[in-house]
Structure 1
Amino acid sequence: MESASTVPVLTIDGPSGAGKGAVSARVAGHLGWNVLDSGAVYRSVALAALEADVDLTDEAALVELCSQVDLEFFAGPEGIEASLGGRPLGDALRAEAVGEASSRVAAVPVVRAALLSLQRRFRRPPGLVADGRDMGTVVFPDATVKVFLDASVEERARRRYRQLKENGEDVTFDRLLSDLEARDRRDRERAVSPTVAAADAVVVDSTDLSLVEVVERVVAIVGDRVAL
């Protein structure tokens, strides 16, 4: 049986709106590898806690829940999709109550440690594409290939604006740009798991690239380092 430490891992980190989910899903589909959305891990545990009526201040109960969560990810046509106990989660993870609970769950150090172990269990043959903000620095520091996917904050705001407008939401570009700039500062400056490129990561700037071009570039980077 293949040891987990020998299973190749591609980490794709980067700021919000860089396109990590869509790129990770397509790259995983191309390679035939497993996929992990680290942000959805926290939201999924928060959802499970809410559904099981677990007190979000009960650290022991939350840690126990982390060990029991039956969470799976797969590459969907629009990005990474998740299922909990075999149930597709879809829009459930984006509910406001889940987001608020996720923020509280992520702030508990022992829960973060438990979820670190949970995320590492997704390292299974034939390989793993891990999407997040600290995949290459904290979760999989020994990853075979590390990519830091970036784009200008203006381009990331434009992408988000188009996405939200297509969904019928009433948003303004200036507000989205301001929100992204503030989020970038928080993510870069936070004491725990800041959003930074690993020292050995390949930086891919997607500002002027299409999704297909980014996927091709990332697949080529993996091909240079892993026998596919």
Structure 2
Amino acid sequence: MKSIAIDGPAGAGKSTIARKVAEKLSFIYVDTGAMYRSMALYFLRNGISSEEEEKIAAACPDIDVSISYQNGEQQVILNGENVNGLIRTEEVSMMTSNTSKYPVVREKLLSLQRGLAEKENVIMDGRDIGTCVLPGADVKIYLTASAQERARRRYKEQTERGLICDMKEIERDIIARDEQDMNREVAPLRQAEDAVLVDSSDMNIDQVVDEIIRIYQEKTK
């Protein structure tokens, strides 16, 4: 089985790019971030704060996160409920960053993610795919963009959904999340030694997709 790992900071476009690359290469796309977001949504719904590590650990056995595909689109299922439309808010984003640092949360999802990679050609995106989840991936990409550009993209995405938001606030949140993700004790965000850096600040989606496919084809010749 072949595997591609895409890591990078919040708002770099990892999910969009990974989904398109998967489609072109006929790989299975595994949005690990969506899985973490689903757990964060569960904690929020149950009134558990991100500081309450013991309550988070106690809640983990009650959470079931699975992936299904409908018409080629990934659906994230939280305890039997499709939560695709509920996990992309800023509140869930911050809760995800605040709770994904806990080992119990990461262990909950790690075996599922690795199990998928053993059975299918996969492309996964997240914060620690190349360093922790799939350290043996055939190709590793570190996808990034400037904080300003990432905020602009997130603002556009949110307003297109009809949400009212402030771009400066989004940029502040992104910078804060970068700091937190890069400095957490467990599986911090960093570029794997053998990952190829792709800075998409001045690239459109199709250009990034083509570049990653070129890197994949070159490395797997």
Q: Which residue of 2 aligns with 1:176?
A: 170
Superposition map of 1:206-221 within 5 A: 206-221=200-215
Question: Aligned-pair distance for 1:187?
Answer: 1.2
Range with bigger deviation, 95-104 or 22-31:
95-104
Q: Which residue of 2 aligns with 1:4?
A: none
CA distance in 2 between counterparts of 1:98 and 1:158 reads: 19
CA distance in 1 between counterparts of 2:26 and 2:148 reads: 33
CA distance in 2 between counterparts of 1:157 and 1:187 reads: 17
CA distance in 2 between counterparts of 1:75 and 1:222 reads: 27
The equivalent position to 1:128 in structure 2, one of 118, 122, 147, is 122
Partner of 1:36, secondary structure, is strand
Aligned amino acid, residue 177 of structure 1: E
Matched-pair contact (CA < 8 Å) for 1:157–1:180: yes
The equivalent position to 2:111 in structure 1, one of 112, 117, 122, is 117
CA distance in 2 between counterparts of 1:76 and 1:151 reads: 31
**Cα-to-partner distance string for 1:148-169 (whole Å, 9 max, x where unaligned):** 0010111111111222222232
TM-score, reference length from structure 1: 0.79
Structure 1 residue ranges (4+ consecutive) displaced by more than 6 angstroms after TM superposition: 48-52, 95-101
Query: Quick check: 1:57 aligned with 2:55?
Result: yes
Identity of aligned residues (%): 37
Partner of 2:117, secondary structure, is coil
Aligned amino acid, residue 35 of structure 1: Y
| Superposed CA RMSD | 3.3
Question: Aligned-pair distance for 1:92?
Answer: 3.2
Range with bigger deviation, 160-169 or 24-33:
160-169
**Cα-to-partner distance string for 1:6-52 (whole Å, 9 max, x where unaligned):** x2110010001100000000011111111111122223345678999
Matched-pair contact (CA < 8 Å) for 2:127–2:189: yes
Question: Aligned-pair distance for 1:89?
Answer: 2.8
The equivalent position to 1:18 in structure 2, one of 3, 7, 12, is 12
CA distance in 1 between counterparts of 2:86 and 2:22 reads: 23
Range with bigger deviation, 18-27 or 116-125:
116-125
Q: Which residue of 2 aligns with 1:71?
A: 66
**Cα-to-partner distance string for 1:120-140 (whole Å, 9 max, x where unaligned):** 111144411001010001111
